[in-house]
Structure 1
């Protein structure tokens, strides 16, 4: 325990530290609480935080509060980290807070439930800084894609990069994505790698890209 406290103390005393990677770690709620207290320190300059493949479920609530307190934090990677519905709710409350400065959020392989996807989608309109969202390797139903695209069509959504690699997208999901592309002038990058696309879906996407209101640069 003392070693962990000593390690975390560096966060507030070493301003040159910009990236912290705790991937594949097993962190208790106590450990997360101690670390997040240091991350909230104004002297902490960490901009990138990675918890890929980490076991941190019980302490995630402390992390969400950090998003509001630390204006330097721009990048958060929670890939392959199991999150409960309440975690998503708290995350979205933080994302919608005017003091949240997060720009990139990675939720790859987080086994997101439908209700969690709905909550996350609604937070996109209340956040002016989040420009990169990765939801790869989460199975998304058509209804979840529809809701995501509806909020992305809102002019208040700042998202520029959306990564939906291997999300099992099918059928009408491509119609909703195409409609969103026609109305969203900010999205420049859309990754749909490893999703089954039929001719009809491809045609809808291509027709949307041709429209002058679509600013997509990479597909």
Structure 2
């Protein structure tokens, strides 16, 4: 891991915005040594500042302004509508997780989202953006020019307060395909608000990660309605939430819906027992789209798995991966890192 300070930003930004023919194509602090690949394209294509340690939150603010000088002088929302990025400000992938960022920088990031025609993936996980920060960011996400496809906001200290804003983004965005909200205290109320956006006919989201979001069975009826209404949702991660057997029973109503296209369902550590396996087996008998099912760290016991096995014998069942047991490749943190690096 690199220990970057504001002085370290200068050569990076000079390489991005300088008048040179060869530009950095990737800066990746996950490597033991900085490996800087050069190509002849114009501009930095991937910028990863993973787990970067900044001396103060203001330096993250300074860095984003330095990376995008075209927005540095913008003072009002009206001006954001007319910002044009230069060729050397074209970035496809921006990874800024654990960079000690706060809501201070979110207005500038919103301006980037509204101005950039190239940015496809933004990872802000592990930063204390809070509800105010995401509300500012949503202004950029709703911009007609925003082309972002992947947004990761895990452990960003978000609550139900901001879920209405996110729902509006889901209903307006034609590009967003993946949203990671894991590790935030959204609660049932927050997800109920989010479900309104997920059910919107214009919503194109394919992957939704809601691990450890303090959800209960109360919201599973709303999620079932989303599964029955969405033509795009392919992956849903509900791991680490106390859904219980009643919650899964409600969720199965959505899984059985003829319009459900879900392919991956993660229910790791959801307080499930063998009592829910009959409902799950019945749902899977009618749902032929499911490919990946994670039931790890639940008390299904032999009787529950036997019920599932009856459906596994069907020749028309398309399930490819079934996860169970007590150990599945390490801690949640390691799994999260693997997700975010893929």
Bin of the TM-score, shorter chain as denominator length: over 0.9
- Cα 1:188–1:4 change in 2 (3 A) is closer
TM-score with structure 1 length normalisation?
A: 0.93
Native 8 Å contact 1:140 1:169 kept in 2: yes
Cα displacement string for residues 28-72 of structure 1 (whole angstroms, at most 9, x for unaligned residues)? 444322211111112111111111111122323211110111110
1:102 is matched with 205
Provide, for residues 162-191 of structure 1, a one-character-per-residue CA deviation record: whole Å limited to 9, x for no partner: 011121210211111111111111111111
Distance in 1 between residues matched to 2:221 and 2:291, nearest whole Å: 23
Q: 2:173 aligns with which of 61, 66, 70?
A: 70
Size of the aligned set, in residue pairs, is 219
Note closer, same or farther for the CA distance 1:4–1:215 as it changes in structure 2 (3 Å cut): closer
Going from structure 1 to structure 2, the CA distance change for 1:203 and 1:2 (only over 3 Å counts) comes to: closer
Distance 1:28 1:205 in 2: 41
Contact 2:285 2:311 survives alignment (8 Å): yes
Specify every segment of 5 or more residues in structure 1 that has no aligned partner in the other structure, as ranges.
none
Q: Quick check: 1:45–1:72 contact (8 Å CA) kept in 2?
A: yes
Is the 1:183–1:213 contact (alpha carbons within 8 Å) kept by the matching residues of 2? no
Structure with bigger RCO (C-alpha 8 Å, 6+ apart): 1
Moved more, 152-161 or 16-25: 16-25
Distance 1:187 1:4, change over 3 A: closer
User: For residues 61-210 of structure 1, what are the structure 2 equivalents within 5 Å?
Assistant: 61-210=164-313
What are the ranges of 5 or more consecutive residues in structure 2 without an aligned counterpart?
Answer: 1-102, 323-342
Is the CA contact 1:182–1:213 (under 8 Å) kept in the aligned structure 2?
A: no
Q: Is the Cα–Cα contact under 8 Å of residues 78 and 106 in structure 1 kept in the other structure? A: yes
**Larger Cα Rg: Structure 1 or Structure 2?**
2
Alignment of structure 1 residues 24-43 onto 2, 5 Å? 24-43=126-145
- Tell me the secondary structure at the aligned position of residue 20 of structure 1: strand
